Amino acid sequence: MEETKKRMLSGIQPSGDLHLGNYLGAIKNWADRADEFECYYFMADMHTITVRQTPADLRKRSINQLAQYIACGLDPEKNVLFLQSHVPQHAQLSWVLSCYTMFGELSRMTQFKDKSAKHKDNINAGLFTYPVLMAADILLYQPDYVPVGEDQKQHVELTRNIAQRFNSIYGDVFKIPEPYISKMGARIYGLTTPGEKMSKSIPEGCVFLMDDPDTIARKFKRAVTDSDSVNPVRYDRENKPGVANLMNIYATLTGKSFEEIEKEFEGKGYGVFKPAVGEAVIETLRPIREEADRLIKDKAYLDDIYRQGAERASYIANKTLRKVYKKVGFYQI
């Protein structure tokens, strides 16, 4: 008898263009798992509106992000790709789970504190409760694993707590998911701010998947390193964060170890090392950019993928939601 594949789920907000950190930290690894896991990946557009968006831009980014997902290797035949807002069960389960989430738990979420500081003129309730929507995103699909970055681990822990609380009252309703953190490329830092993860909010230090080769080369030439001229290319995250970040990028793209990279650039300065990393990124992103450009022009195809993905996702989501509604006592027709 064939063993059932374990299920994995994750999503990225279409709040800006996808970048190298998204690709190396998440999407590249997602593509590699399609044969091992049953995979569900979505555009988290409902999460995006906690910050004010220009509607036309959000719609455009949602379709472009799907094209980039596919161009990065996420085969729609092997992965369920969908838009969060196309599956209403996300919002429906979120309300139920909010009644099983404690105010104190949400108050402790570090991302709420960070986002509140950045958006002081718009500290809305959604900004406070979005970890509950994230819990609904996850628990709807009963996944075994949730691939996340270190900064999202707290949200997966909250999801587990909510699921365990619900299960303790109503029985075995939700599978308790495990965070799945890739060791290599799990966290890519900004080229100009190597103490912070790569972010679209600092575009000069962020390499976007759709950047042209000249732009990428220029960004790597300007990448922050240090003044070490004796033994410049060596991995030391604490004392040489900029170099460590570049080495991590190069290692993830080439499959070389840090020791091999140190040997390759032994006796060579940053003037040789930084362009080499940039060139590796250019050649990695070139086919992705070209394929995404081609797909973006085929809106009918992308709409069809979204429609199929929503149908497949809704089938699983609805099974979970019906079970939850029955448990909490909602009368069902």
Q: What is the pLDDT of residue 1?
A: 36
Say if residue 227 is in the same domain as residue 171.
no
Backbone angles phi, psi at 284, to 5 degrees: -70, -40
Say if residue 254 is in the same domain as residue 119.
no
List, for residues 40-83, the tens digit of each pLDDT value: 999 999 999 998 999 999 999 999 999 999 999 999 999 999 99
Tell me the average confidence (pLDDT) per consecutive run of 10 residues in the chain, 333 residues long. Answer: 76 88 86 88 94 94 95 95 98 98 90 75 87 96 84 85 97 92 71 92 93 97 90 91 95 93 93 96 97 96 97 97 97 89
Residue 37: name the closest of 4, 15, 59 by CA. 4
List, in sequence order, the alpha helices (H) in the chain: 20-22, 28-32, 45-48, 55-71, 89-98, 103-107, 110-118, 125-139, 153-170, 213-221, 241-254, 258-264, 270-296, 299-328
Say if residue 307 is in the same domain as residue 230.
no
Active site residues: 115, 197, 200
CATH assignment at residue 28: 3.40.50.620
- The identity of residue 199, as a single letter, is S
Distance separating alpha carbons of residues 139 and 173, to the nearest angstrom: 10
CA distances from residue 10 to 6, 46, 81 in whole angstroms, order as listed: 14, 14, 10
Domain hosting 57: range is 6-186+299-328
Say if residue 122 is in the same domain as residue 13.
yes
Q: What is the pTM of this model?
A: 0.87
Q: What is the pLDDT of residue 2?
A: 44
Helix (H) or strand (E) holding 41: strand 37-43
Q: Does residue 191 lie in a domain region? A: no
CATH assignment at residue 222: 1.10.240.10
